């Protein structure tokens, strides 16, 4: 009987593909959970941002609606768009939550241009910590 030759490269590739599949499945689950509970997450996130004095707004309901719409669109975002969105802050935390990174970047780049937002205070890490304190429950 011949000995099976197992290439270390083949084994490594198989392991890497397995890890990538697992991460992708976790990401999809997190996106769907965020989408399914978007109204609750939006309400809690806006309250946390206001309590920590990160955002100053004239209309809390308009901010909640904008964040809820963003959470609802998470399930439909392409991987390339997601990677481009979170690229500037990817190294912000050791093992970052993708949903928290995405929402942090949304607040820093897009929500600040909303007419009901008067100002956004704090640096990226402060905003990420506030956002992650809400979305931490999404991680499996």
Domain ranges of the chain: 8-138
| Whole-number pLDDT of residue 92 | 87
Sign, Cα dihedral of 98, 101, 105, 106: positive
pLDDT digits (tens, 9 = 90+) for 92-113: 888 888 999 999 999 999 999 9
| Whole-number pLDDT of residue 104 | 94
- Per the rule left: phi > 0, alpha: psi between -120 and 50, beta: everything else, 122 is left
Give this prediction's pTM: 0.84
What is the rounded average pLDDT of the residues 83-96?
89
| Whole-number pLDDT of residue 64 | 96
CB-based contacts of 43, cutoff 8 Å, min separation 6: 64
Residue 5 has pLDDT above 80, yes or no: no
């Amino acid at each position: 009987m011949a000995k099976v030759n197992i290439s270390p490269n083949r084994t490594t590739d198989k392991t890497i593909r397995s890890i990538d599949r697992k991460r992708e499945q976790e990401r999809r689950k997190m996106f769907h959970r965020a989408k399914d509970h978007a109204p609750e997450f939006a309400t809690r996130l806006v309250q946390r941002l206001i309590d920590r004095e990160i955002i100053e707004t004239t209309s809390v309901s308009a901010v909640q609606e904008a964040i809820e719409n963003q959470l609802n669109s998470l399930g439909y975002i392409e991987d390339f768009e997601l990677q481009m969105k979170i690229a500037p802050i990817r190294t912000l935390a050791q093992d970052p939550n993708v949903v928290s990174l995405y929402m942090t970047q949304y607040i820093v780049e897009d929500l600040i241009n909303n007419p009901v937002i008067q100002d956004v205070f704090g640096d990226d890490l402060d905003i990420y910590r506030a956002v992650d304190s809400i979305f931490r429950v999404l991680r499996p």
